[in-house]
Amino acid sequence: MQLPDEAISYEYQAALIPASEEWTPVAELRSRHFLNPVRLRDLGGRLIQIRSQVAAERDLQQVPPEMQPLDAAFMDFPQKLLDQQRRKNEDSILGRLLARATKLKEQSDRVVVLGIGGSYLGSRALFEALKSSYHNELPAKNRLEAPRIYFEGNNFDNDVMQELLDMLQENCVDPERREERWSVIIISKSGGTLETAVAYRVLHRDAVEYYGNRSERLKQLFVPITGPTSKLRDVVKAEGYADEDIFTIPDRIGGRYSVFTPAGLLPAAVMGLDVRALLQGAAAMTRRFLEEPFERNPVLQYAAVNFLMAEEMAKPIRVLSIWSKKLEALGMWHDQLLAESLGKQGRGPTPLTFVATRDLHSRGQQQQEGARDKFINNLVVRTPRTPPIMVQMADRNEDELNAISRKGYPDLTDAALRGTNQAYSEAARPTADLIVPTLSEHTMGQLMQMLMLATVVEGRLMGINPYGQPGVEAYKRNMKGLLKGEKDGKPG
C-alpha cells in the first residue's frame, strides 16, 4: 500500500461553478461553461452502479455476444502477476520475464522495440518518463549497463528505417563483442499488423547477415511477445522457438490496455526499471477504484468530470496539458487509449496532448480565446527527481532576471501553471489538475492504471463498449487489398 504522499490525486474544483458568486459577465460565462456541483452529485448513484458493472465484468467466464469484445482482465492482471511470483518465483511469468530481460542486457548493448499502438506506446511512455532524456548517449556505466533503446515498427517511413539500419551497421561490426551486439523485442498481439511484421522481416534479414544464418544468437536476441494464437507465434515457432521462448499477451487484454503485461513489462525490465513497483502502483490504483468513495477515488472523479464536460457541456476537445516534457510520450499513449476506446458510433472526445510551457507559445492563444469546445486537464508532477536548478544573480542585468534570482525551475513551472490557470478562469475556461507527487515506477503504475480504468468507466457512462477498435480494421483491410493488387480492398 502506498504512503499518502505517493498517491496521485485529481483536483477538479476549479472546473465547478463557484458558490455564491456575484453576477459579472465572467460569472455568467462560468455558469454556462463550468460544471454545476449539483449535477456532479446527481451522477454519484450512476457512478457506483457503473463501478459495480465494471468490477463484475472482470469475472465473467462466458461473455455474451452483445458484450464482446470484453478485455477487462487488465484490471486484476498486475496483482495476479505479483501473487504468482510470490508462489512460483522464477517459474512465474514475472520470474521468466525478469530472467529474459537480464539475458538481453547481458548479451546486447542496443535493443530495438518493434510495435505499434498499444504494443509500444506504453513502454515508450515509461522509457521517456523514468529514464534519462539522453539515455542512449550516456556511457554504459552511467546507464547502469542498461542497453540503448530504440522504437520502430510503427510506420512505413523508408528513410527512418534505413537510418536505423545504417546506425546498427556503423556501430555494430564485431558480433563477438557485447557492446556491438543488438537485439529485438517484437510485440504484436495478432501478429498481423503490417507495420510491425514488415519491420521484423527487415531486421531479421539484417540479423541473419550479421550473426550468421545458423547462429543461436538469432533466437537469443529476438524475443517475441504476442497473443495465444497469432501469425507471429506461427512464424517464430516455424523458426524453432519453443513455447517458453515466447511471451504471451493474455486473450482478454487488448493492446492499448496491455502496458502491465509482457508487452510493456519486458521492455521496462530491459531498461532497468523496477517492474514490481510498476505493478504495485497499478494494483494499488485498482483497489482505490473498487473500494474508495467518490471523494477519494480519482478514477471515478476523472471519469465523471470529463464525461459531463464532453457530453453535457459541449466540450468534445479534451486537452491533456502536460507540465513535464518527460510525460509527452505518456500523452501519446493516452491519445490512443482515449481515441480508440471512446471514438465510436459518431461520438467520443477528441484527445489532444499539450506540453507546457512549450505549447503555450503555439496553442495557448487558441485555448485562451478560441472556440469554447475544450476542457483542459493539467498533468502536474509536483516534485522533480533532481535538485532544483536555480536562477543566479548576475553582474549584468540586461535580461532583468536578477528580480527572480534564487528562484528554481520548479518555482518557474509552478508560477506558470498558476498564472495559466488563473488566466483561463478569468476567461471562463474550465481546468482541472491531475497531480503526480513525483515520477517513479510506483506513481507511473498508478497513473496509467487510473487512466485506463477511467476510460472504461467513461465508456460505460456513455453506453458504448470501451474495448475493441472496429474502425481501425477498415484501413488495414483496404491497405492489404491494395498491396495485393485488389481494387478498393476487394478482389478486382
User: Do 233 and 148 form a contact (C-beta atoms < 8 A)?
Assistant: no
Place of cell 528505417: 161
Q: Could you confirm whether 33 is annotated as catalytic?
A: no
DSSP 281: H
Residue at 275: amino acid letter = V
Q: Cell numbers of 5, please?
A: 504522499
Distance between CA atoms of residues 110 and 171, nearest Å: 10
Q: Cell numbers of 295, please?
A: 471523494
> In sequence order, what are the beta bridge partners of 149?
111
> In sequence order, what are the beta bridge partners of 218?
none
Active-site residue (options: 66, 244, 361, 400)? 361
User: Do 71 and 89 form a contact (C-beta atoms < 8 A)?
Assistant: no
Q: What is the CA radius of gyration of the chain?
A: 24
**Nearest-5° Cα angle at 28, 27 to 33:** 95
The neighbour count for residue 405, using CB atoms within 10 Å, is 12
Q: Name residues whose C-beta falls within 8 Å of residue 287's C-beta, 6 or more positions apart in sequence.
A: none
Active-site residue (options: 103, 204, 407, 476)? 476
Exposure of 22 by Cβ count < 10 A (0-12 exposed, 13-18 middle, 19+ buried)? Answer: exposed
C-alpha pair distances (Å), 363 with each of 67, 310, 321, 370:
39, 20, 11, 10
Nearest to 469 by CA among 155, 124, 118, 192: 118
Exposure of 418 by Cβ count < 10 A (0-12 exposed, 13-18 middle, 19+ buried)? Answer: exposed
Active-site residue (options: 340, 374, 441, 442)? 340
Q: Could you confirm whether 480 is annotated as catalytic?
A: no
Nearest to 454 by CA among 320, 306, 351: 306
The neighbour count for residue 232, using CB atoms within 10 Å, is 23
Ramachandran angles phi, psi of 345, nearest 5°: 60, 35
Q: Could you confirm whether 21 is annotated as catalytic?
A: no
3-state class of 442 per DSSP? helix
Distance between CA atoms of residues 241 and 168, nearest Å: 25
Distance between CA atoms of residues 8 and 284, nearest Å: 11
Place of cell 517513479: 440
For the annotated catalytic residues, the residue numbers are 340, 361, 476
